[in-house]
Each structure stands twice: as C-alpha cells, then as structure tokens.
Structure 1
Amino acid sequence: MTAIKETRPREARRWAIDLRPLRVPAFRRIWLGGGIAMLGFQFTAVAVPVEMYDLTRDSFWVGLLGVAAFLPLLVFGLWGGAAADARDRRAVLLVSQAVLWASMLALLLQSLLKVGSPVLLLVLVALQSVGFAVSGAARTASLPRLVPAELVPAATTLNYTTYTAASVFGPLLAGLIFAVWRTEAALPIAYGLDALFFTAAVWATVRMPALPPEPDPDGDDTPRRAGLASVVDGLRYLGTTPVLLSSFAIDLIAMILAMPRALFPEIAENRFGGGAAVGWLYSAIAIGAMVGGLTSGWIGRIRRQGRALVIAVVGWGLAVAAAGLARQLWLMVALLAVAGAADLVSAVLRQSMLLVYAPDRMRGRLQGVNTVVVAGGPRLGDLRAGAMAAGLGTSVAMVAGGLASAVLAVLLVAVFPALLRYRAGAAAEPDRT
C-alpha cells in the first residue's frame, strides 16, 4: 500500500506542468505580467472582429483584419528581431510596448466616439501589429538569458499554458460582456479592460534586468546594427538550417490553411444564435491548449521531437476539419479543444527547438521570423477562411482547410525529412554568419 501511495505522486509529477522556472524572479515577473496582459488582449481579440462584422455584416471584412495585421508583422517582425540582437532587449521591449498601449487607447477612443469606420479599424489593428511584432521577438529571445538552458522547454510551456488559459477566460468574459450589453456599449468596456491589464506587462518589463547583446564568440566587437544586412544574415542562417526552416514551414501550412478564427462571428450568429456562443468559439482552441499545457510534463521527455511536431500538426488539421461539420455548440467546442491541445504540443516543441538550436546572437532574428510565422500565419489564415466562407460557406472553409493542412504537412516532411529525423539535444548548427 505504501509503495502504491508513493508511486501515484511520482506519476502525477511526470504529467504535471513543470514549475521550476518560476523560482527565477525575473522570469516569474515576466510570466505574471505577460499572463495578465494576455487576458486583457483577448477582450480586444474578440471585440475587433465583432465590431467589424457588426459594421459590415461580411466575413470577408473580418478576414481583412488578418491582412492588416500581417503586413506590419512581416516587416517589423524581422526588423524587431534584428533590433533585439543589436540592442538591449529590455529597451526594445519598452519602446514596442508603448506602441501597443497607444493602439489600445485609440481603439477605446474610436469606440467611445462611435466612429464606425472599418478602415480605421484596419489601421489600428496594423499599428497594434507593429508593437506586437517587435515586442514578441525581443521578449521570447530573452528567455534563454533569464533561465538555465535545461529549463527553456519548461519555461516555454509555462508561457504558452498561461497565455492559453488567458485565451480561455478572456473570450468567455468578452462573450459575457457582449451577452449582457449591446455591442455599442460592450466595445468600450472590452477595449478599456485591455488597456488596463496591459499595465502589468509594462511593470514586468521595467523590473527586468538589462539584456545587452552578448559578446561575439569569435571576438568580433563591431557594433551590431538592426538594419537590412542584419535581417538578411538571419534569413541566410535560417536557410542553412533545414530543421528550423521545416518547422516554420509546417506551422505556416497549419495556420494558413486551417485557422478558423475569422469564421467564428458568422458561425456564432447563424449556427448557434449569437450571444455568448462567440465567446465559447474563441475560447475553444485555448481550452484544449490549456488542458494540454497543464498535463505537459511528458513533452519535455520527448526525444523524437521532430516526429512529434509533425503528428501534432496533422492532428490539428484533422480536428479543425471535424469541427467544421459540427452542428452542436458543445461538439464544435470539444473538437476545437482537441485542435488546441495539438497546437500546444506543436508550439512548445517548435519554440524549444528554436531557442536551443540557435546561437544567442541569432535568437532575436530567428525569433523575429518566428513571430512572423506564429502571428502572421493565423492572420493569413483569417483572410483565407473569410474569402472561402464568402464564396463557399463556413463549413467548406473549415473542412477543406483542415484536411488540406494535414495532407500538405505530410507531403512536406516526405520531401524534406530533416524535421522527422530531429532529436532533442541535437548539436546546434554552427553560426555561419
């Protein structure tokens, strides 16, 4: 009996999320501040597409929000990564957060004044994307400087799990706001809460230690510049590392072809009667990711990380396709949650591979590329989903996109098998720049 009692706690620890990175004060503050800010961001993530659909009654316009966000991500994600390698990453974070805060306050103001302009919404989403692109690259590239290398996967999992938990409760609360108040009254509440909660992220950044560029291992003390040449160096390095290049490509396939987010306002209204349904749909993927994160102790023990990444991406696509056929809200939420759990595994593995595989002097630039992929892919997916739904309907947009992403992911690794062969702890590629 005693042996059984001792075994159960050990088994629980094998599955439970690893909390050791929270013992590091700097990481603990960044984790807490980022989690609170992410909760606030979810109010805006629901409010903007709801406002756009309310103004235009067209999912294509909702999809255009993805374009407005993607173009700044493409430019400033790459530049922000170069800036994070060339400058103090804490300073880069503070400047980018000021841009984010300005966009939040502008969204609040336009809702209070009842401007009602779809074009203005696109512009403000683009401004927000600028700040997000730069801050995302600098923040994540700082992680290996805040915790020991062996805790990077655990810290990455903690970040993703906290953000997905915020992505569960934020949309649910936003859905409650839109269920209680009319849209014109709910919008300023949602935008105002986002701006308020973002102060936690600014506080955490102010308390961060300075993170200037590390000395070049080759002894080159030439000042680094965040210019086009630096971006090109990062892209050239990425082109010589098939493992990282394939991991980015497979994520783009999954997000562009299978991301169903732009369809949620129309599905909620036409299939489930509106109200709080939109909050459940926006929370569903994050619910699965949160549960996956809380039971993620096994992820850190995966040796064949490349193969596990491919399986997770295929699972994501198949689950989204199945959700597109659901006609009950609970079933669609459950299937999207399965997709979210697969996405959590994919995201943790891909991020851990990047942070461990790349040298520090390249992490900012590669994280900039990762920001473009991770944040830009879903926005292109919004455009794809909105355009398909406008011509073929929401069901076809989800089912066809999910199946196509699963098939293309398999074809990609069949043609370029380096990702399948990757194992945890593989030697980093040499710095060729």
Structure 2
Amino acid sequence: MAFGELVKRHLVDTRPLGVPEYRRIWLGQAVSHVGVGVTVVAVGQQVWELTHSSFWVGLLGMANLIPLVVFGLWGGAVADAVDRRKLLLVGSVIAWAATLFILVQALLGLNNVYLIFAAVALNATGFAITGPTRGAIIPRILDRELVPAANALNSLVYSMGAVAGPMIGAVVLASGGFAAAYSVDALLFAGSLYAALRLPSLPPLGDVTRPGARAVLEGLSFIVRSPVLLMSFVVDIIAMVFAMPRALFPELTADRFGGSMFALGWITSALAIGSVAGALFSGWVGRVSRQGVALVVVIAVWGLAVAAAGLAHDLWLVVAFMAVGGVADVISSVWRQSILQLYAPDEMRGRMQGAFMVVVAGGPRLGDLRAGATATALGVTGAWVGGGIACAVIVVVVGLSVAGFRNYRAR
C-alpha cells in the first residue's frame, strides 16, 4: 500500500464536513471550545484570588456537576419531545447569558464568589441542555456510516480546545485580566449560536413522550434492558472511577518534580495532547465492527498507560504514557457515543445523550474522590498505579462477561 493511501486510511475521516449543517456545528464548536478553555482557567484563578482556598476552587466542580446531572437527564427527555433546533437555541442562549453575566461581574469589579458560582451553574445548565440535544441531532443530519467519523471530529475539536484554550487564557489573563478573558469566551461563543440558527427544523420522530420524570425513567429503563447500552456506560465508569489520576497531579508534581508549574502544566495537558493525536489518526475507527470487544481493549490500554505513568520518574515519560492514555480515551469516547446514537431509536436518542452526559460528567469527579481517598491511605504511587491496574483487570473481567456486549457488532 502506498504511503499516501496509508495516511488517508488512518487520518481522521472528514467526510461529515461535506454536509453543510454538520460543518457549521463543527466549526462553531471548534471556535467556542477555545473560549470555554479560556473561561475555565480564568474562573479558577479568580476564585483562588478571592478566597486563597483550593477547597473553594474545587467546589467549582460541584457547581458544574449538579446542573449537568439534573438538567442533562431532563434536557435529554425534552430533546425527544420538541424540535431539537429550537431546544439547541434555548440552551445556547442560556449558556451565552451565563458568559455575559460573568463578564459583567468582572467589568464591575464585584469580586463576589457567590455570583461566580451562580454564573458557572447557569452555564452548566445551558451546556446540559445543548450537549444531549447536539448529540441527538448528529444522526438526523448524517448518514449512519458517517456517525463514528463525526464523533471523532467532535472529539478532535474538544481536545484541541482543551489544549489551546487554557494556554490562550493564561496569556490573556496576564495581559488583560479577567474581563478580557471572559470577553474572549463571549465573542467566540457566537460561532455555536450561528450554527444552531442555521439548522433546519428537526421535529421529533416516532412516539413522543411528555418530558418529565416518567420520560427520564423510561430512558433509564431502556438502558437497563439493553445490555449493549448498559455496558457502554459501565465500562466508562470503570475507566474513570478507577484510573482517572487528575486529583493526584499536584502531589505527584510536588513529590517528583519539585512543585514545578512547568511540569504540572505538561502533566495536566498530556491527556488532551493524546486525545488530539488519537482523533487526528482516527480514520480506521469507523471500520471496526466488534465495538464491544474493542471498547474493552482500549479501556484496558487506558488503565495500563495510566499505571505506567504513575511509575515513571522522568517528566517526558509521565507525559508520554498519559498521552497514550489520552489516545485510548478518545477512541473509547467515539465508539461509546456511536453505540448510543445508532443502537437507540430516534425517539430515545435525547435521553441516551442525557444519560451519557451524566456519566461523562460524574465519572471523572468520582475518580477524583477515589484517587484522593486512596492516596491518603496508600500514597500517591499506590493510588495512581493501583487504580490503573485495577481498571484494566476489572474492565476485562466485567466487559467480556456479558455476551451481548462481547458479541456486539456495529450495524
């Protein structure tokens, strides 16, 4: 096989960008994710400067998590019952209003941490509505065979934002302050809003269930009764709870690299760097049909890569192994998202995406709790390495024990 053909087969599949509606969504996300990364850095730094407490900075995670859980499930149920374009617009306006709110408090110099938390919670509410809705829209505007490629492209822009946004945010904060940073996010968010405005009408298909507790419970019941869907959630929870080492980054940096901010920056960015590389070379991902077994394999690789990083004492090795973990993580995300979007009927897709958001948001935070608690008892190396090994072993045992998931082939 010629080198050019080999590269073409393995580079990210860009065919979904040929569909104008998806291309606008993708470009809007590419722009707005950078702004989100800028705000993430700015919010954390502003809360730190107001309180000088890492505990308060950590509480920002809870301000995000609670709305994501509550409105993620509810937003998914609504996405199955109304025009998804209109709902995406509503969620986008809520998120944009939150960004403008946090910008105004910085311009006025209010210096009130509770206002910042309120803005973060409001922004998370908007994201909890737009996330499931956008995920449910993808299979409506693309052919089925292009859905895995679209998810890889989505992961690519998310990861690039996670790398570029914080770096740009640090520069803007140093030169212009908090208001300048929030202004960047407010301006870049217009890309997502424009993409939503240009979508065609997307009314619900199939049976429509009135949004509410009953609709949410129907969605959760559908997951429990579908071994393939249920296991796609279970293996991700295993990966995040047992092997996510994020809470241990500062302690590892202090123990092995003298507390260097340079080292902390590289370790923190390593996962996203790996995710960018994995998404860029994801052209082969859509050609894998045994996605159940494939998910088990890549999550086991994730766990082992994390464990290896915890054993490394050279910075470049820690970063390299965590980047390998990032590659495995982004491939896992593409397959899990594709299973959800294609396995479930359209009238369930919003609720499936809502549940997916809850798992994606909650798993890493439970992993932070697990890592911090076990580090207290076992030390940073024991918590980091032990979690990675436990993830690899448990995901193989659990993932391969369910025949429906083990034998699942993408349709």
What TM-score do you get using the length of structure 1 for normalisation? 0.85
Q: CA deviation at 1:266?
A: 6.2
Distance 1:37 1:159, change over 3 A: same
Q: Does the 8 Å CA contact 1:66/1:378 hold for their aligned counterparts?
A: no
Alpha-carbon separation, structure 2, partners of 1:344 and 1:306: 15
Q: Does the 8 Å CA contact 2:250/2:259 hold for their aligned counterparts?
A: no
Q: Does the 8 Å CA contact 2:293/2:400 hold for their aligned counterparts?
A: no
**Which residue in the other structure is 1:251 paired with?**
236
Q: Does the 8 Å CA contact 1:171/1:280 hold for their aligned counterparts?
A: no
Distance 1:127 1:266, change over 3 A: farther
User: Residue by residue, what CA displacement relative to the aligned partner does 1:325-376 show, whole Å, maximum 9, x if unpaired?
Assistant: 4444433322221111000110011111111111111111111111111123
Q: CA deviation at 1:79?
A: 0.6
Alpha-carbon separation, structure 1, partners of 2:382 and 2:172: 30
Any unmatched runs of 5+ in structure 1? 426-433
**Which residue in the other structure is 2:19 paired with?**
24
Question: Is residue 211 from structure 1 mapped to residue 202 from structure 2 by the alignment?
Answer: yes
**Which residue in the other structure is 2:364 paired with?**
378
User: Residue by residue, what CA displacement relative to the aligned partner does 1:110-136 show, whole Å, maximum 9, x if unpaired?
Assistant: 445555555554443322221111110
Distance 1:378 1:204, change over 3 A: same
For the aligned residue pairs, the C-alpha RMSD in angstroms reads 2.7
Q: Does the 8 Å CA contact 1:268/1:278 hold for their aligned counterparts?
A: yes
Alpha-carbon separation, structure 2, partners of 1:60 and 1:322: 29
Q: CA deviation at 1:228?
A: 1.3
For residue 332 of structure 1, the aligned residue among 305, 308, 318 is 318
Question: Is residue 36 from structure 1 mapped to residue 22 from structure 2 by the alignment?
Answer: no
**Which residue in the other structure is 1:85 paired with?**
80
Q: Does the 8 Å CA contact 2:305/2:322 hold for their aligned counterparts?
A: yes
1:142 match: secondary structure: helix
Alpha-carbon separation, structure 1, partners of 2:115 and 2:251: 22
Question: Is residue 100 from structure 1 mapped to residue 95 from structure 2 by the alignment?
Answer: yes
**Which residue in the other structure is 1:356 paired with?**
342
For residue 280 of structure 1, the aligned residue among 257, 266, 270 is 266
For residue 234 of structure 1, the aligned residue among 219, 230, 240 is 219
Q: CA deviation at 1:190?
A: 3.0
For residue 317 of structure 1, the aligned residue among 292, 297, 303 is 303
Q: Does the 8 Å CA contact 2:64/2:124 hold for their aligned counterparts?
A: yes
Amino acid corresponding to residue 103 of structure 1 in structure 2 = A
Q: Does the 8 Å CA contact 1:63/1:382 hold for their aligned counterparts?
A: no
Amino acid corresponding to residue 205 of structure 1 in structure 2 = A
Q: Does the 8 Å CA contact 1:69/1:129 hold for their aligned counterparts?
A: yes
**Which residue in the other structure is 2:169 paired with?**
174
**Which residue in the other structure is 1:307 paired with?**
293
Moved more, 261-270 or 94-103: 261-270
Distance 1:290 1:160, change over 3 A: same
**Which residue in the other structure is 1:189 paired with?**
180
Moved more, 164-173 or 128-137: 164-173
Distance 1:171 1:263, change over 3 A: farther
Identity %: 50
Distance 1:397 1:191, change over 3 A: farther
Q: CA deviation at 1:203?
A: 0.8
